[in-house]
Chains A and B, each alone.
Chain A
Amino acid sequence: MSDLAVAHGASRRFGDLLAVDDVHLRVGAGEVVGLIGANGSGKTTLIRLLLGLLPPTAGQVRLFGEPPSRHTRARLGYVPQSLGLYDDLTVAENLAFSAGAFGVHDTAALQGDLAAVRDVLVHELPLGLRRRVAFAIALGHHPDLLVLDEPTSGVDPLQRARLWETIRASAEDGAGVLVSTHHMSEAEQCDRLLVLANGRVAAEGTMDEVVGGTRAVEVRTGRWEEAFTALDAAGLPVSLVGKALRVPGADREAVGRPLAGAGVDADLGIVPASFEEAFVVLAAGRAA
C-alpha cells in the first residue's frame, strides 16, 4: 500500500500560535482516514498544509511523494464543506468548468439521477443531490487522493449511506480518502481515525481503539430532573439520554455523592462511553 499523503512531524506556526504541532499523518491508497478535531484544534490548518495552501514551518508534507505543488494538485480532489459549486450555473456547466480547469477531456458522463438533472441550476437542487454533484465533479478528473470536509452533514441516513457508497467505491478503485469531520456518524465510517486537540494528535486508531476504555456512569432514576440539577450543580458534565442521565469520565463515587446529598435515589451503572463523550474526555485531557 503506497502512501498518497504524508505529514511527518509537520508543524505550522502563526506568530505565537502553534496551530499544528508535530503531527504525523498518512493516507494510503484504498483507505478512508478520518480527521477529527474541535474548533481551534488545528484541523483546518493541517488540511491546508496537506493541500499545499500553506507551507509547514517545521517537518515535512508530501503529496504523492513530493512537496505539494501545482502539479500534484491535478491528482487531488477536494470537496469543501460549502461544496464549491456555482449556484447560478447548471450541473453540466459546473462540470464543464471543472473539466476545463483541470484540462481533462474525457470526464465520466453523469450517471443515473445526476444525468437527469444535468441542466438544472445548482441552487434549485436539494442538498443531497448537490453533494452528489460536488462529488461527481471532484471525481471527474480521476484523482488519486480525495479530501472531503464533512461530506455527509445535513442529509438523511439513506442519502448518507448512498454518499458513502460513492466514497467507498473510489477507495476500492485505488484512491485514498481523507475525511475531515466533527461527527460520529461520519467517523464510524472511516477505517482509521486521527483525533486532533490543540494542534497535536490526541489519539489514533480505529473507532474502538480511540474510544478505548473510556467509560461513563449511567444514572437511572424516577426523578431525573432533580438528579440532573444536583449533578449539574456539582460541576459534572451530565447529559440526558432518553430518560437516563450519563456522566462520562467519572466514577461511581463522584456521581453518587451529589445524588446522595440531594436525596435522590438512583441506580448507577458503568457503560462504555459514546464517541462524543470519549472525544470530550480526550480533548479535555489534552488541554491540561
Chain B
Amino acid sequence: MWAMAMKELRQMRRDRRTLAMMILLPVLLLVVFGYAASFDVDRVRTVVVGPLAQEVAGGLPDRLQVVETRADLGREGAVEALRDGEAVVAVVTGANGDAAILVDGADLFSARSVVTELRGRPELPAPEILFNPGLDTSTIMVPGLMGVVLVFVGTIATALGVVRERQSGTLEQLAVMPFRPRDVLLGKLLPYLGVAAVDLVVIVAAGMLLFDVPFVGSPLVFALGAVAFLFVTVGAGVLISTVSETQGQAIQLAMMIMLPQILLSGLIFPLQAMAAGVRWIGYLLPLTYFVQVARGVMVKGTPIDALLLPLGMLAVLGLAVLGLSIARFRRDLAPAGRRHRHDEVATVGAGAR
C-alpha cells in the first residue's frame, strides 16, 4: 500500500497542471470571496438633470455619487443616460415639481442598494425603477448565462476538437494532405460556431418565454456582440489546443480560464462592489464585455453607439487571441511551406536554423 501512495505522490509532484489547479484554485477562491464577493454597492453613479441640478446635487445622500450635472437635459435625457449606462441613478429636477428619481433596474444590486437607502429618506421622491421594474434576478442573469454557454462551447469544445486530432496522431496525416492551414482551422471551427449560434437562439427564446426576459433592443447589435465574443472564445480554444497534448490537459486549462471569468466578470457579483485591486481583473476578461452588451441590448435597449467600448474591447481581444492561435496552429500544420503547383518541388535546406 505504501508503495502505491509513494508512487502517486511522486507522479502528482510532476503533474504541473493538476498542481496548479490544486493550489491556484483555492487562492482564486480566497481572493474572490475576500475581495470580490459582495452584493453591497457603496457608491452608485448618478447624474442630476434639470434646472435645479446644481443645487440638488449637493444635497443627495452620499451613496449617490454624482458624476455629472446637466441642467439642459430633461426626463428624456435622463432615461437615455440610464439606458446608455452612463449612470445608474438619474435625478430629475423640475421647476414645476415634476421631480423624479430614476433607477436603472438592470443594474440589479446597485438599484437595490439605492432603493433601500431612499426608503430612509421620505423627503425625496420615491424611486422609479426602469427597465427591470420587478428587480428580477433572472432578467439580468439569463443574458449573462448566455455568455457562459458561449464560453463553454467556444473554448472547451473547440479545444477538445483540435486536441483530439493531436492526441490520435491524425494531425500529422492532415499535414500531408493538400489542405491549407486555414482550410483545416475554419473547417474545424465551423460546426462549433454553428452549434453555438443555435444554443444562443434557444437560450434567448427560453429566456423570453419561460423567464419573461425582455428583448428590447436591436437583435443585430446583439448578434454583433455575440460574434465578437465567439471570436475570442474560439480563439482561446484553439490557443489552448496548441499547448495541450491530451484532452485532459485541454479541459484543465479551459476550466482554469473559465472559472475566473464566471466569478469576476460581473456576472454574479457586481463589478462596482469589488475592491478596486480585484476589479481590474474583471476589465481584462472578455465575458465582462459580453455581459454588458447582452444586458444592455436585451434589458435596456441600449443602442450601438453606447456600446462601442465593450464591442471594441471584444474585437481587440478577439483579433489578438485568434491571431496568436492561428500563428501557432499553422506552425503545427505547415512548417515546410508546401504550397506548390508544379510537378517537382526542390526544397533547399535553410542552413543552420
Asked if A97 and B15 make an inter-chain contact with CB atoms under 8 angstroms apart, the answer reads no
Asked if A96 and B3 make an inter-chain contact with CB atoms under 8 angstroms apart, the answer reads yes
Asked if A100 and B10 make an inter-chain contact with CB atoms under 8 angstroms apart, the answer reads no
A225 to B156, CA, bound (A): 52
Interface string of B1-23 (1 = CB under 8 A from A): 01110110011001100000000
Asked if B3 and A88 make an inter-chain contact with CB atoms under 8 angstroms apart, the answer reads no
Q: Does A89 contact B (CB under 8 A)?
A: yes
Which A residues from 84 to 108 make CB contacts under 8 A with B? 86, 88-89, 93, 96-97, 99-101
> Looking across the interface, which residue of chain A has its beta carbon closest to that of B3?
A100
Asked if B2 and A89 make an inter-chain contact with CB atoms under 8 angstroms apart, the answer reads no
Asked if A88 and B11 make an inter-chain contact with CB atoms under 8 angstroms apart, the answer reads yes
Chain A residues near B2 (CB-CB < 8 A): 100
Q: Whole-angstrom distance from the CB of A31 to the nearest CB of chain B?
A: 32
Asked if B6 and A97 make an inter-chain contact with CB atoms under 8 angstroms apart, the answer reads yes
A100 to B3, CA, bound (A): 5
Asked if B11 and A86 make an inter-chain contact with CB atoms under 8 angstroms apart, the answer reads yes
Q: Whole-angstrom distance from the CB of B289 to the nearest CB of chain A?
A: 40
A88 to B15, CA, bound (A): 8
Chain A residues near B11 (CB-CB < 8 A): 86, 88-89
Chain B residues near A96 (CB-CB < 8 A): 3, 6
A89 to B3, CA, bound (A): 13
Chain B residues near A101 (CB-CB < 8 A): 3-4
A93 to B14, CA, bound (A): 13
Chain B residues near A89 (CB-CB < 8 A): 7, 10-11, 14
Asked if B3 and A93 make an inter-chain contact with CB atoms under 8 angstroms apart, the answer reads no
Interface string of A21-61 (1 = CB under 8 A from B): 00000000000000000000000000000000000000000
Asked if A97 and B3 make an inter-chain contact with CB atoms under 8 angstroms apart, the answer reads yes
Asked if B15 and A100 make an inter-chain contact with CB atoms under 8 angstroms apart, the answer reads no
Asked if A88 and B14 make an inter-chain contact with CB atoms under 8 angstroms apart, the answer reads yes
Chain A residues near B6 (CB-CB < 8 A): 96-97, 100
A273 to B7, CA, bound (A): 50
Q: Whole-angstrom distance from the CB of A130 to the nearest CB of chain B?
A: 17
Interface string of B147-165 (1 = CB under 8 A from A): 0000000000000000000
A97, A101, A121 interface centre (most CB from chain B within 10 Å)? A97
A121 to B11, CA, bound (A): 11
Chain A residues near B15 (CB-CB < 8 A): 88
> Looking across the interface, which residue of chain A has its beta carbon closest to that of B2?
A100
A93 to B6, CA, bound (A): 9
> Looking across the interface, which residue of chain B has its beta carbon closest to that of A99?
B3
Which B residues from 262 to 278 make CB contacts under 8 A with A? none
Q: Whole-angstrom distance from the CB of B12 to the nearest CB of chain A?
A: 9
A159 to B6, CA, bound (A): 32
Chain A residues near B7 (CB-CB < 8 A): 86, 89, 93, 97
A88 to B8, CA, bound (A): 10
A99 to B2, CA, bound (A): 11
Chain A residues near B14 (CB-CB < 8 A): 88-89, 121
> Looking across the interface, which residue of chain A has its beta carbon closest to that of B5?
A100
Q: Whole-angstrom distance from the CB of A105 to the nearest CB of chain B?
A: 12
> Looking across the interface, which residue of chain B has its beta carbon closest to that of A90?
B10
Interface string of A62-95 (1 = CB under 8 A from B): 0000000000000000000000001011000100
A225 to B14, CA, bound (A): 56
Which B residues from 1 to 55 make CB contacts under 8 A with A? 2-4, 6-7, 10-11, 14-15
Q: Whole-angstrom distance from the CB of A89 to the nearest CB of chain B?
A: 6
Chain B residues near A97 (CB-CB < 8 A): 3-4, 6-7
Interface string of A120-139 (1 = CB under 8 A from B): 01000000000000000000
A96 to B11, CA, bound (A): 13
Chain B residues near A88 (CB-CB < 8 A): 11, 14-15
Q: Whole-angstrom distance from the CB of B153 to the nearest CB of chain A?
A: 32
A99 to B6, CA, bound (A): 12
> Looking across the interface, which residue of chain A has its beta carbon closest to that of B1?
A100
Beyond A100-B4, A100-B6, 20 additional contacts (C-beta under 8 Å) are A86-B7, A86-B11, A88-B14, A88-B15, A89-B7, A89-B10, A89-B11, A89-B14, A93-B7, A96-B3, A96-B6, A97-B3, A97-B4, A97-B6, A97-B7, A99-B3, A100-B3, A101-B3, A101-B4, A121-B14
25 A-B pairs whose Cβ atoms sit less than 8 Å apart in the complex:
A86-B7, A86-B11, A88-B11, A88-B14, A88-B15, A89-B7, A89-B10, A89-B11, A89-B14, A93-B7, A93-B10, A96-B3, A96-B6, A97-B3, A97-B4, A97-B6, A97-B7, A99-B3, A100-B2, A100-B3, A100-B4, A100-B6, A101-B3, A101-B4, A121-B14
Task: Write the residues of chain A forming the contact surface with B, with a CB cutoff of 8 angstroms.
Answer: 86, 88-89, 93, 96-97, 99-101, 121
Query: Which 7 interchain pairs have the tightest Cβ spacing?
Result: A100-B3, A97-B7, A88-B14, A101-B3, A88-B11, A97-B3, A93-B10
Task: Write the residues of chain B forming the contact surface with A, with a CB cutoff of 8 angstroms.
Answer: 2-4, 6-7, 10-11, 14-15
